[in-house]
Amino acid sequence: MPTITPAHLHELLASTDRDAALVVVGGHAAIVSPMPGGRGEPADAMVITTRDAVIAELDTGANDEQLERLAQRLDTALDSLGG
């Protein structure tokens, strides 16, 4: 079962926070936003990608197939790091 799914990318893109990020903590993916004056992710979180990075890679017209491929690439990269 993949850690990163297209649903995570949909949630990330739906965020109204431009600084939102997809992170993995304890083997689980989550969307976090930085808090004013501090970091948004827990200290043990691994940042996988940001909202802006996904938008830049897929452009604004991303479809489900593109999100599926990106999720697979990110999940494969995470697996190769031992995540």
The pLDDT tens digits of the residues spanning 27-51 come to: 899 999 876 555 555 667 888 999 9
Assigned domain for 12 exists:
yes
Q: How high is the pLDDT of residue 12?
A: 95
**Is 17 within the bounds of a domain?**
yes
Residue 60 placed within a domain: yes
Q: What tokens does 59 get?
A: 């452009």
Q: How many domains, in total, are found in the chain?
A: 1
The answer to whether the pTM exceeds 0.75 is: yes
pLDDT of res. 81: 80
The domain of 47 spans: 6-72
State phi, psi for 33 to the nearest 5 degrees.
-125, 140
Q: Kindly state the tokens that stand for 26.
A: 């304890």
Q: By C-alpha distance, which of 51, 58, 61, 70 is closest to 11?
A: 51
Within-domain flag for 13: yes
pLDDT confidence tier of residue 60, bands split at 50, 70 and 90: low
Does 37 fall in a domain? yes
| Burial of residue 38 (number of CB atoms within 10 Å: 0-12, 13-18, 19+) | exposed
